[in-house]
Homo-oligomer: A and B are copies of this chain.
Amino acid sequence: MLTRQLQQQARRQAGVMIRTAGIHITDKEAEGIEVVDFGLSRLQKEGVQVLTLLQTERISVKVLALFPNQTEPEHWHPPVAGDPGKEETVRVISGTLYFYSPGENTFQEGFLVKGKEHCYTMRHELVMRPGDQITLAPGVKHWFQARDEGVVMYSFSTVARDALDQFTDKDVVRITKIIE
């Protein structure tokens, strides 16, 4: 859960990061930035801020902002009825992204979230900078992280059904609860 105050503060911070990265967004879009704590109630450690630019029955375009040292928990996009699952391309706009997916263990620059090491099983590391991008087939486990400066990135994908994403950490709840 998140307090309304913390949600609004995180939303403002993410909006500034996105605009500073050179992405022109409307005020209405900035006000709609989703602050996601994955039900873990420690947003600064495990969480993400999401601006959905486009969502149709076929395509999703999102801007993701990660605060410094914030980690998005390991997850994957399973097949759903009539759809092989979400194919996603991540493209870095500003900052350095530490991205983990299947492959040889090359873990070096990132860090595992304390007490949750077992929930981060992918250890193949990509250090991604502005202009770098990676495309993930449906079902591929991944997680990612910002270090000192935070990250702004695009997520281009087939239709997103966030509520159906699956997480290694069984404590995750995809819908963030806001308390007043």
Interface residues in chain A, defined as those with a beta carbon under 8 Å from any beta carbon in chain B: 22-26, 29, 53-54, 56, 58-59, 61, 87, 89, 91, 93-94, 130-131, 133, 135, 156-158
Residue pairs across A and B with Cβ atoms less than 8 A apart, 20 shown, are: A22-B22, A22-B24, A24-B93, A24-B94, A24-B131, A25-B131, A53-B133, A53-B156, A54-B89, A54-B91, A54-B135, A56-B89, A58-B87, A59-B59, A59-B89, A59-B156, A59-B157, A59-B158, A61-B89, A156-B156
Q: How far is the CB of A30 from chain B (nearest CB, A)?
A: 10
Q: How far is the CA of A58 from the CA of B93 in the complex (A)?
A: 22
Task: Say how many copies of this protein the assembly contains.
Answer: 2
Residues of B within 8 A of A157 (CB): 59
Q: How far is the CA of A23 from the CA of B59 in the complex (A)?
A: 21
Residue contact B58 to A158, C-beta cutoff 8 Å: yes
Q: How far is the CA of A94 from the CA of B59 in the complex (A)?
A: 23
Contact A56 to B87, CB < 8 A, known contacts A131-B29, A156-B61: yes
Q: How far is the CA of A61 from the CA of B59 in the complex (A)?
A: 11
Q: How far is the CB of A82 from chain B (nearest CB, A)?
A: 14
Q: How far is the CB of A131 from chain B (nearest CB, A)?
A: 4
